[in-house]
Amino acid sequence: MGWEIFHEIGRKILHLIILVALIVYFAIKSQAGQQAALLFLVVLLLIFLILEYFRLDLNLKIPFFHKFIRSKEEHMVYGAIFFLSSVIITLAVFDTAIALAALLMTTFGDMSAAIVGKKYGTTMLFRNKTVVGFVTELTTNLIVALTISLLFSINIYITIIMAFAATITESLVDEMDDNLMVPIVSGFIGQILLLAI
């Protein structure tokens, strides 16, 4: 159990590294504009795609990264590719507050659910998701919702609905990559609500 939690924490650290790229994105955006900032993220995506080419097509083990690949991802594209793709899509399409809420819910909600769910979860909710993981993720997503609402003066009901959408999507998705589904679904719902209210 200890190694499994360590392994999960290691996988989530990669999510946090991509969030560091968000800081660089906003720094570039403030100096050179959104297109230059998005191009920076596309360069990062290309680097990850090249690494995936080496791993999947050439069967080379990439130092450090191969330790955090789940067995079901061994012959599939790594989740970081999907997460970075969703970062680019959300920042390009949605308002900044909506995009940040969706991405932070994806990162911290998923991280808290995985770590707490693996450690304390015994009652299964749906497939491999536990009740404890679900409640932990929803709580984390609601904290993100409140924070984004206060920082960006956005209607709290929008971010609360996004929190529920992110948590439910995360719980239902198994074969499709949650790193792509969660931010796009919750971001889309948030953006539609923002335009409607």
Cα–Cα distance, 138 to 114 (Å, whole number): 12
Q: Where are the beta strands (DSSP E) in 26-158?
A: 124-126, 129-130
pTM, rounded to two decimals: 0.86
pLDDT digits (tens, 9 = 90+) for 181-197: 999 999 999 999 999 98
> What count of other Cβ atoms lies within 10 Å of the Cβ of residue 69?
19
66: CB partners within 8 A, 6+ apart = 55
In the chain, pLDDT over 70 holds for what percent of residues?
A: 85
Please state the φ and ψ torsions of residue 74, each to the nearest 5 degrees: -55, -35
Residues pairing with 130 in the sheet: 124
Q: Where are the domains of the chain?
A: 2-196
pLDDT digits (tens, 9 = 90+) for 92-139: 999 999 999 999 999 999 888 888 877 786 777 777 778 898 999 999
Round the average pLDDT of the chain to a whole number and report it. 87
